Amino acid sequence: MEKKEDRRVRVTKRMLKDALIELLKTKDIYHISIRELCETADVNRTTFYKYYGNQFDLLSDMEDDLIGFISSTIEKNHTDSEKILTAACRYLEENLEFARLIINNNVDPAFPNRLFSADAVTTSFVNRYSPETTEEALEYFYNYITYGVYRVVCVWLNKEDRESPEALAKLINEMVLR
């Protein structure tokens, strides 16, 4: 059984994640030092290194949180795409600063590939098509739909007067089902 993280550990990691988001608003990850990150988070460097090897490990942990949330949502609601989309959009809206940074490719251009290669995402997609669909056709469909939805979400996140997560999920679902 997986051991739950201590509350103090979760709080410390949250402080580090918030500090990274704050710093990423003004500089790229390559120019963020661990010292600066720790000062912003008000955390000792030794504490930082207890959990992460560098700022890229911290970013990867944050990306893993998002991918993990989406994967678990897909697994719980695998037959209800609108419910999956609504939950994902709510998560992004609740974590808007990070979502904007990561979705706009300002931080990690490889993130979309990590997201779209997650087992739950690919399996969910493949299961929606008939067994007669060729592998080549599936690859094209997958890229067309996932990257299209990704761009729609990107546009939505960048709007100041956004539709609700529910409205966007319904719109995306309608577009994909057509």
DSSP string, 111-155: HHHHHHTSHHHHHHHHTTS-TTS-HHHHHHHHHHHHHHHHHHHHH
Please give the average per-residue pLDDT across 108-112, as a whole number: 90
Which range, of 39-53, 72-86, 102-116, 150-164, averages the lowest pLDDT? 102-116
Please give the average per-residue pLDDT across 114-120, as a whole number: 92
CATH fold label, 59-177? Tetracycline Repressor; domain 2 (1.10.357)
- What is the per-residue pLDDT across 73-103, written as a single tens digit (0 to 9) for each? 999 998 898 999 999 999 999 999 999 999 8
Q: What is the distance between the alpha carbons of residues 134 and 138, in angstroms, rounded to a whole number?
A: 6
Angle ∠(50,6,63) on CA atoms, nearest 5 = 65
pLDDT at 178 (0 to 100): 73
Query: Which CATH code is given to the segment(s) 7-53?
Result: 1.10.10
Q: What is the distance between the alpha carbons of residues 66 and 137, in angstroms, rounded to a whole number?
A: 28
pLDDT at 48 (0 to 100): 97
pLDDT at 154 (0 to 100): 95
Residue range(s) in the chain whose domain bears CATH number 1.10.10: 7-53
Chain centroid, CA 171 distance in Å? 20
pLDDT at 107 (0 to 100): 87
**Statement: residue 1 has pLDDT above 60:** no
**Statement: residue 5 has pLDDT above 90:** no
**Statement: residue 149 has pLDDT above 70:** yes
pLDDT mean across residues, the chain: 92
- Closest residue by Cα to residue 87 from 10, 157, 164, 148: 164
Residue 59's SS3 state is: helix
> Does the reported pTM lie above 0.95?
no
**Statement: residue 2 has pLDDT above 60:** no
Residue range(s) in the chain whose domain bears CATH number 1.10.357: 59-177
pLDDT band at 114 (very low <50, low <70, confident <90, very high): very high
Angle ∠(51,31,18) on CA atoms, nearest 5 = 45
